[in-house]
């Protein structure tokens, strides 16, 4: 199973994601520089967290114009799993693979803390192993993590079952406490919290079983496809 | 901001002629206190720097320690006080940037940051609050963007820092021993300047930092760009992996003047540089400006001619500007040209080595007066006193600060901020514990014991995670060294640190001296800061939840040492009395015994007893686990003291161990065997923190109420007050 981790100038969770996919879950993982072509045989791709282009203009907006994005879009169109974490989520939104925007936190500060997610959709490649309503202890670390979408499009998200994760409590005034969403087809998922920081018991002060299921879901999805 | 007359004479004599204008600028930057350590260098030699794990290479700006399995840890500490006092956001951010590049220069990846922040009284002084808020944001914006976790530090407020700021940043790096860059060069090698453009920002920064802060010279403060820094880190590490770097040095204080002269001097070569080749941010910069600009995010790299193309390719990939600015020569001369004319030509050794000073020192008169001042009397309601202390800015939770720092990126942070010391996992299966500590209130009353106390406190903190201290860095911050009384406090602190290093066999692997820290109201209190690295071979002690029935064992003697305590200073607004002293033999015995007990897995949690004394240390344990406790003060190992003194004394060498009942006998017998002063002082029970003395109630607080005060008060002070 071949999974790609895209590295943009300023990505800084790429090595963490690589470690989790490769060392923890034993997947065949490869880095791709933002100017690289993604090979045809890639089974899934992850856009990691960080500060692509130093968050200039707006988080994710410059990276959304990187050459690699057209290949990411091709993979998305083919129905292959695409995951964007934190800045990766911001890039997916800015490249219009996902709807809505991520705004500056209402505290106006960067927030780094542990929180709890609630799984709202278990039909995506990253949540298939979960039960609806299941909780995931996980950390967030962002300055622009407040998800916003207008009423009309929020209704569409709800109707199409595109809300994947909600925060267990209102931590940053995201619309409808949204922490992660997917595209209509469900194969492109973006989330603000960091699953790669939560899968190893050594660094997870709570329970790492649920966060592991995000990656186990991916493995099951890719496996089923083959 | 120029050379002193006697320095100019010395220079003229050394080079055998009058230096020209450009040469004067170059030498003035390099001979500033900041770059040359001219007041401190002869004394710093007393610090022991050797050890079995220490790796020395020429030209390193960071300390290197072998941690086994083919891996090394690097560490460095710096401050950015003057810039942060003028422009806290940029000053603090560029402080982070500078220390990271020192870690990078050894060829290691920066994996953690710690910062020590000190400001005036934020409860009364809105300017102090402004400085504090913006310094924190500056650090957060820079470190977070780089993806280097800020895992620890300290924040302190004291009137002595009014209209001023101390921003200390320590960084830790990690890498393979075989990939350390061993600085070397030979004639014909190419000198490359990599990274951001050279602008007019930060000109004269080193001299600015070597003078009392009288003018708010904002142009001497550098402008931060963490994105470029991130690209430089990745480009440098990629170039290191491909073996393209022969020597490397970060551009910091003194800019190119300092980097070129020190690199040439360290490697015993000459460097010829053409200022017109330096990529500049603005046109028409004078050569002297280019040579002394402290624009950030720049690295000086020496590479082999044949490898230059590969290095340029990496820089192109990361869109990092890279100019070939000169070449290595065999004549040990630092030569600067503008393509046609020679602008400066001096032996690198002379430029890099300022004439050193042996400044006079004299014990300050204030010390005796303060020790003999009449001490404050015990308050009536000690429960209230404990609650006020928990809410005091120096003791209250710093979550408002570290909640803004990404402390998890890099997925190494096993023990997170808010505990005694941070613990990072390493790729060789071991763990690194890190902590920085300072205590200007103690140091003001007793610079020697105060400095030793900071050292011990940092050690106690890493020991509480199960780590053996393996190295230290110091940052010595004082006022104007030309004042003999201030210089005396510097020397005393240094002596204390040296004694402690020697007794514990902990090598000093790096450090920095920052002088001329003067505010409009006078010098700051002596503020030496000690960073300690500890290594854990097997399992770190992670804070575990304390359960009802667990027992609290106290190690170490509580003495009549309230001078400089938070209790005296915050509650009574009293500066004076006797500050805690270190008894080296007792200190070592306690530390070794506690460490052994922790490493053998006999305790659930360990906490050092420091700021705010026993009352605060016990409350912190209770609050973190949300469980009450009952403590008998009469059982505390002590000198004869009243209840308030027992609660709030900040005597050193004390630890609190939380022990399961079933393991109590093992812990007690181990302590007894080693002849360590200790006692079982209470148990965890109920939902109140209760202190009694000979069965009489002394103080009582509800855990949830205490927690609310402690947890929220600093944040509320910053956001709402």
Dihedral of the alpha carbons of A99, A104, A106, A111, in degrees to the nearest 10: 110
Domains in chain B: boundaries: 1-37+183-356, 60-175+405-434, 366-391+435-520+540-719
Q: How far is B612 from chain A (nearest CA, A)?
A: 27
Residue B568: DSSP 8-state: I
A186 and A157 in contact (C-beta within 8 Å)?
no
Helix/strand/coil (H/E/C) assignment for every residue in B640-691: CCCHHHHHHCCCCCCEEEEECHHHHHHHHHHHHHCCCCEEEEEEECCCEEEE
Q: Do B406 and A110 touch (CB under 8 A)?
A: yes
CA distance A18 to B556: 47
Q: How many domains does chain A have?
A: 1
- A54 to chain B: closest CA residue: B227
B70 and B178 in contact (C-beta within 8 Å)?
yes
B431 touches chain A (CB under 8 A): no
CA distance B132 to B48: 35
Backbone φ, ψ for residue B277 (5° rounding): -85, -15
- On whether the B60-175+405-434 domain is CATH 3.90.1110.10, my answer is no
Backbone φ, ψ for residue B281 (5° rounding): -85, -25
Query: Which of A5, A7, A10 is the best substitution to test chain B (most B C-beta atoms within 10 A)?
Result: A10
Which residues in B lie closer than 8 A to residue A113 (C-beta atoms)?
A: 403
Residue-level pLDDT at B224: 87
Q: Which residue numbers of A have CB closer than 8 Å to B's CBs?
A: 9-10, 12-13, 15-16, 19-20, 33, 49-51, 53-56, 109-113, 139, 141, 143, 194, 196-197, 200, 202-203, 205
Residue range of the domain that includes A156: 2-225
Q: Which listed residue (B34, B43, B76, B475) is catalytic?
A: B34
A52 and A46 in contact (C-beta within 8 Å)?
no
- Among B392, B396, B394, B399, which Cα is nearest to B416's? B399
B675 and B589 in contact (C-beta within 8 Å)?
yes
CATH number of the domain at B366-391+435-520+540-719, please? 3.90.650.10
CA distance B149 to B170: 12
- A52 to chain B: closest CA residue: B227
In the residue annotation, B127 being an active-site residue is answered as: no
* pLDDT tens digits for range B239-250: 999 999 999 999
Which residues in B lie closer than 8 A to residue A53 (C-beta atoms)?
A: 227
Which residues in B lie closer than 8 A to residue A143 (C-beta atoms)?
A: 144
Residue-level pLDDT at B61: 83
Bridge partner residues of B116 (DSSP)? B154, B168
- pLDDT at residue A67 above 90? yes
CA distance B197 to B157: 37
Residue-level pLDDT at B373: 87
Q: How far is B140 from chain A (nearest CA, A)?
A: 7
Residue A83, by phi and psi: left (phi above 0), alpha (psi -120 to 50) or beta? Answer: beta
| Residue spans of chain B under pLDDT 50 | none
B642 and B634 in contact (C-beta within 8 Å)?
no
Bridge partner residues of B422 (DSSP)? B434
Residues with Cβ within 8 Å of residue B277, at least 6 apart in sequence: B323, B324, B325, B326, B339
- Among A119, A125, A25, which Cα is nearest to A75's? A125
Which residues in A lie closer than 8 A to residue B318 (C-beta atoms)?
A: 9
Torsion sign over Cα B503, B506, B509, B512? negative
Q: Which listed residue (B25, B43, B76, B80) is catalytic?
A: B80
Neighbours of B463 (CB within 10 A): 29
Q: Taking residues A57-77, what's their average pLDDT? A: 97
User: Considering all CA atoms of chain B, what is the largest pairwise distance in Å, rounded to the nearest integer?
Assistant: 88
Residues with Cβ within 8 Å of residue B22, at least 6 apart in sequence: B287, B288, B291, B336, B343, B344
Element (H, E) at B41: helix B41-44
Q: Do B140 and A197 touch (CB under 8 A)?
A: no
User: Considering all CA atoms of chain A, what is the largest pairwise distance in Å, rounded to the nearest integer?
Assistant: 46
CA distance B245 to B66: 21
Q: Do domains B1-37+183-356 and B60-175+405-434 have the same CATH topology?
A: no
Terminal Cα distance for chain B, rounded: 40
- Among A141, A144, A153, which Cα is nearest to A111's? A141
Q: How far is B157 from chain A (nearest CA, A)?
A: 22
Query: Which of B408, B432, B465 is the best substitution to test chain A (most A C-beta atoms within 10 A)?
Result: B408
Q: Do B144 and A55 touch (CB under 8 A)?
A: no
Residues with Cβ within 8 Å of residue B430, at least 6 apart in sequence: B67, B68, B69, B535, B536, B537
Q: How far is A90 from chain B (nearest CA, A)?
A: 15
Q: Do B402 and A16 touch (CB under 8 A)?
A: no
Give the CA count within 13 Å in the CB-facing half-sphere of B375: 19
CA distance B306 to B325: 16
Q: Do A203 and B409 touch (CB under 8 A)?
A: no
- On whether the B1-37+183-356 domain is CATH 3.90.650.10, my answer is yes
> Would you please indicate which residues of A are annotated as catalytic (active-site) residues?
86, 194, 196
- Among B399, B338, B90, which Cα is nearest to B225's? B90
Backbone φ, ψ for residue A170 (5° rounding): -75, 100
Q: How far is B147 from chain A (nearest CA, A)?
A: 5
Element (H, E) at B52: none
Backbone φ, ψ for residue B500 (5° rounding): -65, -45
Q: Taking residues A142-165, what's their average pLDDT? A: 97
Residues with Cβ within 8 Å of residue B425, at least 6 apart in sequence: A202, A203, B412, B414, B431
CA distance B107 to B241: 9
CA distance B626 to A20: 33
A110 and A74 in contact (C-beta within 8 Å)?
no
Residues with Cβ within 8 Å of residue A201, at least 6 apart in sequence: A208
How long, in residues, is chain B? Answer: 721
Residue-level pLDDT at B644: 96
Q: How far is B715 from chain A (nearest CA, A)?
A: 12
Query: Which of B134, B135, B403, B409 is the best substitution to test chain A (most A C-beta atoms within 10 A)?
Result: B409
B80 and B116 in contact (C-beta within 8 Å)?
no
* pLDDT tens digits for range B76-117: 999 999 889 999 999 999 999 999 999 999 999 999 999 999
The CATH number assigned to the domain holding A141 equals: 3.40.50.880
Terminal Cα distance for chain A, rounded: 9
Torsion sign over Cα B627, B633, B638, B643? positive
Dihedral of the alpha carbons of B604, B608, B612, B614, in degrees to the nearest 10: 60
In the residue annotation, B80 being an active-site residue is answered as: yes
CA distance B7 to B19: 11
Q: What is the pTM of this model?
A: 0.96
């Amino acid at each position: 199973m071949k999974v790609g981790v895209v590295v943009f100038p300023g990505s800084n969770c790429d090595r963490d994601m690589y470690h989790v996919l490769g060392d923890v879950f034993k997947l065949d993982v490869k880095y791709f520089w933002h100017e690289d072509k993604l090979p045809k045989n890639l089974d899934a791709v992850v856009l990691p967290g960080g500060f692509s282009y130093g968050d200039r203009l707006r988080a994710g907006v410059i990276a959304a114009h990187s050459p690699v994005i057209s290949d990411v879009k091709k993979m998305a169109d083919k129905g292959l799993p695409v995951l964007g974490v934190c800045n990766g989520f911001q890039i997916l939104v800015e490249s219009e693979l996902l709807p809505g925007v991520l705004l500056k936190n209402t505290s106006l500060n960067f927030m780094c803390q542990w929180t709890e997610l609630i799984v709202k959709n278990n039909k995506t490649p990253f949540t298939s192993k979960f039960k609806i309503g299941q909780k995931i202890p996980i950390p967030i670390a962002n300055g622009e993590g407040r998800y916003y979408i207008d009423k009309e499009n929020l209704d569409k998200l709800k109707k199409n079952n595109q809300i994947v994760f909600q925060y267990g409590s209102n931590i940053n005034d995201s619309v409808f406490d949204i922490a992660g969403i997917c595209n209509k087809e469900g194969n492109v998922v973006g989330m603000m919290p960091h699953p790669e920081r939560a899968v190893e018991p050594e660094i997870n002060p709570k329970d790492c079983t649920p966060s592991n299921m995000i990656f186990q879901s991916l493995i099951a999805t890719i496996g089923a496809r083959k | 901001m120029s050379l002193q007359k006697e320095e100019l004479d010395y220079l003229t004599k050394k080079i055998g002629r009058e230096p020209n204008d450009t040469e004067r600028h170059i030498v003035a930057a390099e001979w500033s206190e900041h770059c040359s350590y001219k007041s401190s260098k002869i004394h710093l030699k007393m610090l022991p720097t050797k050890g079995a794990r220490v790796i020395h290479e020429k030209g390193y700006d960071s300390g290197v320690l072998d941690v086994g399995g083919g891996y090394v840890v690097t560490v460095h500490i710096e401050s950015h006080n003057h810039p942060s006092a003028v422009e806290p956001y940029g000053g603090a951010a560029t402080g982070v940037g500078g220390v990271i590049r020192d870690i990078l220069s050894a060829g290691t990846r920066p994996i953690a940051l710690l910062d020590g922040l000190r400001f005036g009284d934020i409860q009364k002084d809105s300017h102090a609050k402004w400085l504090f808020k913006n310094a924190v944001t500056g650090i957060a914006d820079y470190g977070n963007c780089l993806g280097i976790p800020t895992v620890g530090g300290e924040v302190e407020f004291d009137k002595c820092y009014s209209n001023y700021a101390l921003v200390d940043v320590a960084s830790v790096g990690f890498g393979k021993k075989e990939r350390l860059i061993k600085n070397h060069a030979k004639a014909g090698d190419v000198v490359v300047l990599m990274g951001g453009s050279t602008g007019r920002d930060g000109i004269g920064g080193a001299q600015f930092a070597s003078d009392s802060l009288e003018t708010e010279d904002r142009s001497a403060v550098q402008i931060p760009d963490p994105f470029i820094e991130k690209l430089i880190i990745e480009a440098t590490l990629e170039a290191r992996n491909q073996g393209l770097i022969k020597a490397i040095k970060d551009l910091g204080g003194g800019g190119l003047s300092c980097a070129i002269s020190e690199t040439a001097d360290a490697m015993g070569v000459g460097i010829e540089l053409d200022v017109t080749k330096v990529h500049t941010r603005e046109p028409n910069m004078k050569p002297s400006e280019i040579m002394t600009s402290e624009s950030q995010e720049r690295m000086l790299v020496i590479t082999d001619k044949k490898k230059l193309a590969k290095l340029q390719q990496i820089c192109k990939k990361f869109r990092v500007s890279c100019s070939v600015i000169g070449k290595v020569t065999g004549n040990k001369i630092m030569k600067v040209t503008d393509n046609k004319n020679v602008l400066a030509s001096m032996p690198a050794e002379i430029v890099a080595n300022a004439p050193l000073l042996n400044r006079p020192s004299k014990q300050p008169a204030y010390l005796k007066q303060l020790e003999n001042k009449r001490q404050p009397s015990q308050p009536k309601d000690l429960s209230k006193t404990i609650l006020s202390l928990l809410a005091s800015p120096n003791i209250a939770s710093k979550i408002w600060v570290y909640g803004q720092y990404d402390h998890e990126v890099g997925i190494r942070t096993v023990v997170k901020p808010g505990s005694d010391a941070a613990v990072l996992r390493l790729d060789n299966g071991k763990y690194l514990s890190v902590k920085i500590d300072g205590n200007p209130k103690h140091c003001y009353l007793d610079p020697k014991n105060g400095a030793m106390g900071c050292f011990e406190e940092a050690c106690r903190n890493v020991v509480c995670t199960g780590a053996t201290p393996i190295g230290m860095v110091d940052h010595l911050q004082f006022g104007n060294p030309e004042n003999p009384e201030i210089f005396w406090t510097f020397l005393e602190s240094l002596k204390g640190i040296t004694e402690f290093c020697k007794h514990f066999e902990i090598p000093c692997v790096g450090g920095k001296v920052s002088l001329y820290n003067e505010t409009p109201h006078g010098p700051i209190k002596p503020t030496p800061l000690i960073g300690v690295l500890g290594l854990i071979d097997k399992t770190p002690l992670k804070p575990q939840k304390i359960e009802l029935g667990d027992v609290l064992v106290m190690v170490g003697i509580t003495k009549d040492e309230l001078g400089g305590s938070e209790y005296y200073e915050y509650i009574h607004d009293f500066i004076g009395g006797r500050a805690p002293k270190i008894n080296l033999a007792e200190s070592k015995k306690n530390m070794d015994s506690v460490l052994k007990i922790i490493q053998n897995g006999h305790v659930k949690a360990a906490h050092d007893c420091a700021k705010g004394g026993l009352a605060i240390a016990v409350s912190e344990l209770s609050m973190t686990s949300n469980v009450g406790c009952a403590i008998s003060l009469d059982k505390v190992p002590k000198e004869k003291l009243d209840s308030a003194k027992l609660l709030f004394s900040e005597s050193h060498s004390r630890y609190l161990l939380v022990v399961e009942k079933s393991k109590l006998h093992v812990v007690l017998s181990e302590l007894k065997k080693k002849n360590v002063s200790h006692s079982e002082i209470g148990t965890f029970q109920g939902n109140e923190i209760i202190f009694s003395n000979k069965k009489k109630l002394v103080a009582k607080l509800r855990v949830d109420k205490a927690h609310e005060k402690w947890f929220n008060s600093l944040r509320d002070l910053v956001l709402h007050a």
